[in-house]
Amino acid sequence: MAYLKQAQKGTEHIFKGRTYKCIGTEPYTTRDGRQINLALFEGACAVCGGSFTVKTTVDGYERTNAFYTKHCPTHRKARK
Protein backbone atom coordinates (compact mmCIF):
# COMPACT_ATOMS: atom_id res chain seq x y z
CA MET A 1 0.00 0.00 0.00
CA ALA A 2 1.33 3.37 -0.99
CA TYR A 3 2.22 5.80 1.71
CA LEU A 4 -0.38 8.52 2.02
CA LYS A 5 0.19 11.79 3.78
CA GLN A 6 -2.17 12.35 6.67
CA ALA A 7 -3.78 15.65 7.48
CA GLN A 8 -3.93 16.86 11.05
CA LYS A 9 -4.81 20.09 12.73
CA GLY A 10 -2.31 22.68 11.59
CA THR A 11 -1.39 20.91 8.36
CA GLU A 12 -0.96 23.39 5.54
CA HIS A 13 -1.53 22.51 1.94
CA ILE A 14 -0.62 24.80 -0.93
CA PHE A 15 -2.52 24.23 -4.16
CA LYS A 16 -2.14 26.46 -7.19
CA GLY A 17 -0.59 29.15 -5.00
CA ARG A 18 -3.43 29.14 -2.48
CA THR A 19 -2.86 28.03 1.09
CA TYR A 20 -5.35 25.80 2.86
CA LYS A 21 -4.94 25.13 6.55
CA CYS A 22 -6.35 22.16 8.39
CA ILE A 23 -8.46 23.33 11.32
CA GLY A 24 -9.44 19.93 12.62
CA THR A 25 -10.99 16.59 11.79
CA GLU A 26 -14.41 15.04 12.18
CA PRO A 27 -15.66 11.44 12.10
CA TYR A 28 -17.57 10.30 9.05
CA THR A 29 -19.32 7.08 8.07
CA THR A 30 -18.94 6.11 4.43
CA ARG A 31 -21.76 4.65 2.33
CA ASP A 32 -20.40 1.17 2.89
CA GLY A 33 -20.35 1.68 6.65
CA ARG A 34 -16.68 2.33 7.26
CA GLN A 35 -15.72 4.84 9.94
CA ILE A 36 -13.18 7.32 8.66
CA ASN A 37 -12.04 10.79 9.60
CA LEU A 38 -12.46 13.80 7.40
CA ALA A 39 -10.11 16.75 7.57
CA LEU A 40 -11.52 20.25 7.47
CA PHE A 41 -9.36 22.67 5.53
CA GLU A 42 -9.87 26.40 5.64
CA GLY A 43 -9.13 28.54 2.60
CA ALA A 44 -9.60 32.17 1.66
CA CYS A 45 -12.07 33.16 -1.05
CA ALA A 46 -10.37 34.31 -4.25
CA VAL A 47 -12.92 37.14 -4.59
CA CYS A 48 -13.58 38.53 -1.11
CA GLY A 49 -10.92 36.87 1.01
CA GLY A 50 -13.56 35.42 3.30
CA SER A 51 -12.80 32.04 4.81
CA PHE A 52 -14.57 28.86 3.82
CA THR A 53 -13.93 25.22 4.60
CA VAL A 54 -13.57 22.17 2.41
CA LYS A 55 -13.57 18.57 3.56
CA THR A 56 -11.08 15.95 2.50
CA THR A 57 -10.16 12.52 3.64
CA VAL A 58 -7.46 12.55 6.31
CA ASP A 59 -5.46 9.90 4.46
CA GLY A 60 -4.18 11.12 1.13
CA TYR A 61 -5.77 14.53 1.48
CA GLU A 62 -3.41 15.85 -1.18
CA ARG A 63 -5.05 13.69 -3.82
CA THR A 64 -8.60 14.90 -3.35
CA ASN A 65 -10.36 17.38 -5.61
CA ALA A 66 -11.47 19.51 -2.67
CA PHE A 67 -8.74 22.06 -3.21
CA TYR A 68 -10.16 23.09 -6.56
CA THR A 69 -12.67 25.02 -4.47
CA LYS A 70 -11.40 28.56 -4.16
CA HIS A 71 -14.51 30.59 -3.35
CA CYS A 72 -16.67 31.08 -0.31
CA PRO A 73 -20.24 29.69 -0.65
CA THR A 74 -21.55 33.08 -1.79
CA HIS A 75 -19.12 33.48 -4.65
CA ARG A 76 -19.25 29.79 -5.52
CA LYS A 77 -22.94 30.22 -6.27
CA ALA A 78 -22.41 33.40 -8.24
CA ARG A 79 -20.02 31.63 -10.58
CA LYS A 80 -22.31 28.78 -11.54
Chain residues in the site for Zn ion (CB under 5 A): 45, 47-48, 50, 72, 75
Closest approach of Zn ion to the CB of residue 12, in Å: 21
Q: Minimum distance from CB of 45 to Zn ion (Å)?
A: 3
> For Zn ion, which residue has the nearest CB?
45
Q: Please say which residue, 4 or 46, places its beta carbon nearer to Zn ion.
A: 46
- Closest CA relative to residue 7, chosen from 20, 49, 74, 17: 20
Q: Least distance in Å: CB of 70 to Zn ion?
A: 9
Q: Compute the CA torsion angle 57, 61, 63, 49 (nearest 10 deg).
A: 110
Determine what percent of the chain falls in helix, strand and coil, rounding each to the nearest 5.
15, 45, 40
